């Protein structure tokens, strides 16, 4: 991913996959790697990995987990219009930026833990 490019997707956002073999699936963002421009979506792009027995997995065996996908393959789902949308960054009267739906203009709120 080129330096200086902003990505408006955050952890716990609900996104829809718009390209690739998982096209059409909806899930929650689990993890983001901004340097590589990739993200992990819950129950999307599942791969099988062979694990040796150890502390984390005493039995070992085959484990299914999410694989990374590119930012460009997903769009954020708007809560109000329930459709995938691009993100606008309107500035309010106090000079604070927020994330808003390009379709309906609704401000997207993300829960911070």
pLDDT in tens, 15-57: 999 999 999 999 999 999 999 999 999 999 999 999 999 998 8
Domains of the chain: 14-101 (2.30.30.30)
pTM: 0.84
Q: Are 67 and 47 in contact (CB under 8 A)?
A: yes
The secondary element (H helix, E strand) that includes residue 32 is: strand 26-33
pLDDT of residue 53: 94
Phi-psi group of 22: left, alpha or beta (phi > 0 → left; psi -120 to 50 → alpha; rest → beta): alpha
Q: Mean pLDDT in the chain?
A: 89
pLDDT of residue 3: 57
Confidence of residue 110 (pLDDT cuts 50, 70, 90): very low
């Amino acid at each position: 991913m080129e330096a200086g490019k902003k990505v408006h997707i955050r952890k716990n956002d609900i996104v829809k996959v718009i390209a690739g073999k998982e096209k059409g699936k909806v899930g929650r963002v689990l993890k983001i790697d901004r340097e590589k421009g990739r993200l992990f979506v819950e129950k999307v792009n599942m791969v099988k990995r062979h694990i040796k027995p150890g502390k984390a997995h005493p039995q070992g065996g085959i484990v299914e987990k999410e694989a990374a996908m590119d930012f460009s393959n997903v769009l954020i789902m708007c809560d109000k219009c329930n459709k995938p949308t691009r993100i606008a960054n309107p500035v309010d009267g106090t000079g604070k930026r927020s994330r808003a739906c390009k379709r309906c203009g609704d401000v997207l709120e993300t829960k911070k833990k």
